[in-house]
Structure 1
Amino acid sequence: MSYQSVTEPPRSEPTSSGQGGAQAAPTPAELIARADALVPVLAERAAKTEDQRQVPEETVRDLIDAGLIRIATPKTYGGHGVDIDTLFEVGWRLAQGCGATGWFYAVTQSHNWLMGTASKEVQDEYFTSPDVISSSAFAPTGKSEQVRDGWQISGRWPFSSGVDHAEWVWLGAMDIPRKRQAYLLVPRSEVKIVDDWYPAGLRGTGSKSVVIEEPVFVPEYRVFYPGPAHPEARDRHGRASYGMPQSQVMPIWLSTPLVGMAQGAIKEFARRTPERRLPGGRSHADLPGPQLRLAESAAEADAALALLRADLRDLIEFGAAGKQLTDEERARFRRNHCYTAKLAVSAVNRLYDASGANAILDPSPIARIHRDVNAGSHQIAVAWDNIAELYGRVLLGVEPNMAMW
């Protein structure tokens, strides 16, 4: 069995984004070029996206028309036959133009990747289109009861990014007898969206609450338990990353847009700084302060990119080989998810602090990036403290402070 992978970000000219007819599947280079072509479009719409508090319909259509929504879809169901490294290269680029769109893209694509490890029965039901979009609210905040052949669930689940565009919703619940979390897949038609999304940042993600007022039944085949590697999915779909535990892969999609936002902030700071003038007409670009800040932030953002690329290469290589990860390797991947987010926040904050009074005024791009990257870093999967402790304990031979799947 051979597995497709892109180990370095290839360079190519943009190609036609049409997906009709019997065209050959686009290469990773072509998909990346399509993402690059969308960056200025997303940047132009970024203020509108934030004002609407959800990703605009035209942006979703652009992502579909460019073939980018089906990157995570398994080839069996009409995907392009690429793996998570291509998804990463596309995802961080989109976030350069609009952090909220990058977040929406990475999160919804993570669901299509994850679905490839589920049973064939639910995959057949879910992938009625290779461009299917779903949202999630994985925290088990609702009410759930296990019944014969399934679950009864009701209640409220907040933070469901992109739910306005979703056909399905993944909802978290606790399997009490087994002491583990479960994800329950529910059709969008069976939930109510509550427009309560008024956050400090990432406003454009549309991460509204999902409510089920009267209990609905979820059949057991639509209940998913995250955790181990799925070699059977790897072999069925020809995707090496399915040979890795989900805990080593899923958090990458929360780091991805943050790293892209940092890259976007660097470009915006470099564009805007020469235009800023001191009394007497001297450009801020001539000052050592902005030069030093830009250099350090660029180094942090590039380091974050390099670290995630290296991890993705390892994950694909290990998954293809069916390698069993050691505790240290598991902890290292989780450390890097969080550390790259930490680097992205640091890079953006440093530039924002040197951007002057105009940086606090809307629709300043760097103000929006500052809001978005700090909001995204609050997601528990990329929060530093607990995972840093986990890694330190494992490295020192101390009992881990949390479970590692």
Structure 2
Amino acid sequence: MEAIALPTHIELVHRASKLAPVLTEYADWNEENRRVHDTVIEALTEAGLFRLRVPVANGGYESDAATMVAVATELARADASAAWTVSVGWITSWMASLFPPEVRDEVLASADLRTCGTLSPSATATPTDGGYVMNGKWGFVSGAPHSQWQVLVAMAPGPGGDPWPVMALAPLSDLVVIDDWHTSGLRGSGSVTTVADNVFVPAARVMPLVSALSEGYDSGRTGIYGAPLVAAAAASVSGLAVGMARAATDQFRQRMSQRGITYTSYTSQAAAPVTHLKLAEAVLLADEAEFHAQRLAGQLDAKDAAADAWTIEDRARARADMGRACRLAQESVDLLRRASGGSSIYTSVPIQRIARDIEAMNMHALMQPETNLELYGRVLSGLAPDTLYL
């Protein structure tokens, strides 16, 4: 059988860029309705952008981290909520790819595959004949309104009897979806709550979370699936921050020559020296955010290619790079938001939405800049990390 050529980095970034008009068109609708419009989901699916981290054997692309960062940047430049939904799909489809082939064939085979999930073990998994019974709920399940499968993380009895986290795969049709996503930022991401009420999951679709958190180069996991989960997830989302910073710059530059600075002699904001200073500073902050996102992606891709082991310091730096990209991007956006004038508070001006979206991203527990900075500094100081999520 002749091998099918996979889309290149350049091709996938081009596909993402071409979707900007439709993402921009529905960005306000997404905000108002608190989920991504079906038209946008269909366009993203048709472009194959949900399949970047799906195995080639299951119709995916097994794209590298550099491609994820670049594609996420382009998507977030148009609409952060849609981009966020895609990035979460990359993380959860990557997690699903760690299961045995027969499970992957069941979960990942659909051409319109979309997955969702979170990393928080906010439910219980009780052993029963042939599998586990899940009970509990998961918040912040981005993309659930359009997904077919969810990665569930729950606490189950470990080998020694003490509870430990497991991850499982369940159809969304087995869960109850609660429409409770009423937020200030990333409103269009549809990050609702899902509930399991005595949901049976076969044993083949359950595995210890530590298997994903640990690297797997020496246990049969190869290529992009050999990396530790948190590093892979960090690379999946870091490009979003860069894209939001670029979006703020785009919006600011479009408006600055069309408006003056009230109560001054400047009829064009573009002519004012203070504008030059703020714009240059904001662009350089975005450049710095991009450096950290690309460094993280480069580290991930190099280790995946060489099956090189991850040290604790490597893992901590991956989280630090993600957190730094988020922080620098927010600083860039905030600088331009404050320079955008009173008219920018109208909901018709996109920079106010971008500012709320990047703030929401910085508040995510895994991406919170100070938490990641503390973790990296702790490891650099010779102390053991105080988290499993590394």
The answer, yes or no, to whether TM exceeds 0.5 is yes
**1:168-192 deviation digits (Å, cap 9, x = unpaired):** 1122212343553222211111111
1:96 aligns with 2:96: no
Does the CA contact (< 8 Å) of 1:74 and 1:81 recur in 2? Answer: yes
SS at match of 2:50: coil
**Counterpart position of 2:305:** 320
Query: For residue 384 of structure 2, what is the amino acid of its counterpart?
Result: E
**Counterpart position of 1:49:** 30
Query: For residue 374 of structure 1, what is the amino acid of its counterpart?
Result: E
**Counterpart position of 1:258:** 241
SS at match of 1:317: helix
Q: TM-score when scaled to structure 1?
A: 0.88
1:132 aligns with 2:113: yes
**Counterpart position of 1:187:** 171
SS at match of 1:69: helix
1:230 aligns with 2:230: no
Return closer, same or farther for 1:142/1:180 CA change in 2, 3 Å cut-off: closer
SS at match of 1:277: coil
1:166 CA drift (Å): 0.7
1:347 CA drift (Å): 0.9
* Overall identity of the aligned pairs, in %: 33
Q: Distance in 1 between matches of 2:142 and 2:387?
A: 26
SS at match of 1:155: strand
Query: For residue 115 of structure 1, what is the amino acid of its counterpart?
Result: A
1:70 aligns with 2:51: yes
**Counterpart position of 2:130:** 149
**1:263-284 deviation digits (Å, cap 9, x = unpaired):** 1111111111111113556201
- Out of 64, 83, 86, the position equivalent to 2:64 is 83
- Out of 152, 161, 167, the position equivalent to 1:171 is 152
- Out of 351, 372, 389, the position equivalent to 2:357 is 372
Return closer, same or farther for 1:392/1:207 CA change in 2, 3 Å cut-off: same
Does the CA contact (< 8 Å) of 1:194 and 1:210 recur in 2? Answer: yes
Does the CA contact (< 8 Å) of 2:123 and 2:155 recur in 1? Answer: no
**Counterpart position of 2:225:** 242
1:120 aligns with 2:113: no
Q: Distance in 2 between matches of 1:283 and 1:91?
A: 33
1:303 aligns with 2:288: yes
1:207 aligns with 2:188: no
Return closer, same or farther for 1:403/1:131 CA change in 2, 3 Å cut-off: same
Q: Distance in 1 between matches of 2:41 and 2:121?
A: 28
1:62 CA drift (Å): 0.7
Q: Distance in 1 between matches of 2:11 and 2:150?
A: 30
**Counterpart position of 1:11:** none
Q: Distance in 2 between matches of 1:388 and 1:26?
A: 36
Does the CA contact (< 8 Å) of 1:162 and 1:205 recur in 2? Answer: yes
Does the CA contact (< 8 Å) of 2:266 and 2:272 recur in 1? Answer: no
Does the CA contact (< 8 Å) of 1:166 and 1:188 recur in 2? Answer: yes
Q: Distance in 2 between matches of 1:191 and 1:42?
A: 29
- Out of 202, 219, 228, the position equivalent to 1:219 is 202
**Counterpart position of 1:334:** 319
1:100 CA drift (Å): 0.4
**Counterpart position of 1:3:** none
Does the CA contact (< 8 Å) of 1:330 and 1:404 recur in 2? Answer: no
Does the CA contact (< 8 Å) of 1:234 and 1:243 recur in 2? Answer: yes
Deviation larger for 335-344 or 60-69: 60-69
Does the CA contact (< 8 Å) of 1:72 and 1:84 recur in 2? Answer: no
- Out of 154, 159, 162, the position equivalent to 2:143 is 162
Does the CA contact (< 8 Å) of 1:83 and 1:241 recur in 2? Answer: yes
Q: Distance in 2 between matches of 1:121 and 1:27?
A: 28
Q: Distance in 1 between matches of 2:337 and 2:299?
A: 34
Q: Distance in 1 between matches of 2:193 and 2:274?
A: 43
- Out of 84, 91, 94, the position equivalent to 1:110 is 91
1:152 CA drift (Å): 1.2
Q: TM-score when scaled to structure 2?
A: 0.91
1:234 CA drift (Å): 4.6
Q: Distance in 2 between matches of 1:47 and 1:131?
A: 25
**1:114-165 deviation digits (Å, cap 9, x = unpaired):** 2222221211110122431011133222343233432211232211111110
1:32 aligns with 2:13: yes
Deviation larger for 172-181 or 246-255: 172-181
1:73 CA drift (Å): 1.5
- Out of 276, 280, 288, the position equivalent to 2:273 is 288
Does the CA contact (< 8 Å) of 2:246 and 2:286 recur in 1? Answer: yes
- Out of 318, 331, 335, the position equivalent to 1:350 is 335
Q: Distance in 1 between matches of 2:179 and 2:224?
A: 36
Q: Distance in 2 between matches of 1:192 and 1:402?
A: 30
Q: Distance in 1 between matches of 2:285 and 2:296?
A: 17
Return closer, same or farther for 1:333/1:137 CA change in 2, 3 Å cut-off: closer
Return closer, same or farther for 1:24/1:144 CA change in 2, 3 Å cut-off: closer
1:398 aligns with 2:389: no
